[in-house]
Amino acid sequence: MTASAAPRFDPLDPLGLDDLLDDDDRAVRETVRRWAADRVLPHVARWYEDGQVPEVRELARELGALGALGMPLHGHGCAGATAVQYGLACLELEAADSGIRSLVSVQGSLAMYAIHRYGSEELKERWLPPMAAGETIGCFGLTEPDHGSDPAAMRTHARRDGSDWVLTGRKTWITNGSLAGVAVVWARTDEGIRGFVVPTDAPGFAAHDIHHKWSLRASVTSELVLDEVRLPEGAALPGVVGLRGPLSCLSHARYGIVWGAMGAARACFESALEYATTREQFGRPIGGFQLTQAKLADMAVELHKGVLLAHHLGRRMDAGRLRPEQISFGKLNNVREALEICRTSRTILGANGISLEYPVMRHATNLESVLTYEGTAEMHQLVLGKALTGLDAFR
């Protein structure tokens, strides 16, 4: 074999994982990468500092036009992409900012997925097309002030009143809450936990933003208050009763996070690599020192192992063979490792690592939320522990 026959070594794809992608996959990735480079990256540091995204509705419409909302769902205006393509989109969005990826995850994998999988034809036809277009933003209400990892103990309840349902309760840490035109709210009923599709202009519904947060600052987080919200019978999702409804939605969203976290990690790694080769101390680039090289090598290893894992899970999802425990495996590993990569990148950038001029600290603080939401790292350890031993350590 001649030397010229060996493929080029790409520092940004050292394993040649691009080989796993087909032309469509690459085109999807390119579209999202360019959109994020044009529409998010030039502004995101300012959004983060200000704690608000003034053009968020416009961004949602643009994401809708691309097909990024409810991307792997079929019909009702959704793009019908593969799970791998959806994952690639999540990765590229989160390489810009976890808050933008969160907007897309909550819209597509939580709110739209719930309606798509468990809703009546009437609910699907009413809500999915404007949600796919980004005209209507959705949110997903499961977590409560006193019930996070243990949603089965939720207090929000729905009672029958004639043919109507009447909902009362509070939900918190709700991404997109005050932006939403529709909320998928989970509540206990006499029959068990059920999902309700709540138009946010219904009397008795209110959303209040949560301020003073030091993570996901380019994302809207709210508390939902439901005070005797009256809904017609058809607002209840007919397809599921019990906690497996919301948990299946969370699984779908976690799948996107498995990919997304590697986007945040990639952005930090690239920033650190660039810095290491240009920043000079003791008369030479710091990337020439062994301690820095060890960090870069370890980061690259974990980053691309994580991408490989995400791809493997994507292929299983596309084949209809992905188990929730495997998603827990992916979320536990990839968010934990992404956070470590961000923190290590921060050390390579030295004092500049804490500046908003670089993406590193922003990603690191974002990932503190990502580590916890959609199932904490500890819950995923417990899920895996149970699957490995057959012993349930938390219920």
Active site residues: 374
CB of 37 to another protein, least distance (A): 11
CB of 67 to another protein, least distance (A): 3
| Site track for another protein across 304-323, x = CB under 8 A | --------------------
Among 53, 67, 359, 364, binds another protein (CB under 8 A): 67
21 binds another protein (CB under 8 A): no
Contacts with another protein by CB under 8 A: the residue count is: 18
Tell the smallest beta-carbon distance from residue 362 to another protein (Å): 24
Rule CB under 8 A: say whether 259 interacts with another protein: no
> Is residue 24 close enough to count as binding another protein by CB under 8 A?
yes
Answer whether 310's CB lies under 8 Å from 316's CB. no
How far is it, in rounded angstroms, from Cα 92 to Cα 303? 14
Instruction: Work out how close the CB of 66 gets to another protein at its nearest, in angstroms, rounded to a whole number.
Output: 5
Query: Strands 138-141 and 182-189: what pairing?
Result: parallel
Half-sphere exposure of 365 toward its Cβ, with a 13 Å CA cutoff?
18
Distance CA 138, CA 307 (A): 28
- Closer CB to another protein, residue 71 or residue 154? 71
E strands of 210-247, at which residues? 221-231
Residue 320's CB is within 10 A of a number of other CB atoms, namely 7
Distance between first and last Cα of the chain? 59
Question: DSSP assignment of 317-351, as one string?
Answer: HHTT---HHHHHHHHHHHHHHHHHHHHHHHHHTGG
**Which long-range contacts link 320-326 to residues 24+ away (Cβ below 8 Å)?**
322/83, 322/255, 324/247, 324/251, 324/383, 325/383, 325/384, 325/387
Candidate residues 54, 75, 80, 145; the one interacting with another protein per rule CB under 8 A: 80
Q: Which of 16, 46, 58, 65 binds another protein (CB under 8 A)?
A: 65
Of 44, 56, 59, 68, the residue at the interface with another protein (CB under 8 A) is 68
Contact range with another protein by CB under 8 A, out of 20-28, 136-144, 159-167, 226-234:
20-28
Question: Which residues have C-beta within 8 Å of that of residue 147, sequence separation ≥ 6?
Answer: 153, 154, 155
Shortest distance, CB of residue 317 to another protein, whole angstroms? 17
| Comparison of 81 and 240: residue with beta carbon closer to another protein | 81
* Residue 233 contacts another protein per CB under 8 A: no
Smallest distance, another protein to C-beta of residue 23, A: 6
Interaction residues for another protein, span 150-189 (CB under 8 A): none
Q: Does 273 bind another protein (CB under 8 A)?
A: no
**Bridging pattern class, strands 164-175 and 192-199:** unpaired
Helix (H, G, I), strand (E, B) or coil at 33: helix
Pick out residues in 27-46 that bind another protein (CB under 8 A): 27-28, 30-31, 34-35
Nearest approach, Cβ of residue 70 and another protein (Å): 11
Beta bridge partners of 224: 171, 207
* Nearer to another protein (CB atom), residue 36 or residue 261: 36
Listed residue (227, 224, 240, 232) closest to 185, CA to CA: 224
Beta strands (DSSP E) in 176-250 are 182-189, 192-199, 205-209, 221-231
Q: Which one of residues 3, 8, 232, 320 is an interface residue with another protein (CB under 8 A)?
A: 8
* Site for another protein, rule CB under 8 A: 8, 23-24, 27-28, 30-31, 34-35, 65-68, 71, 79-81, 85
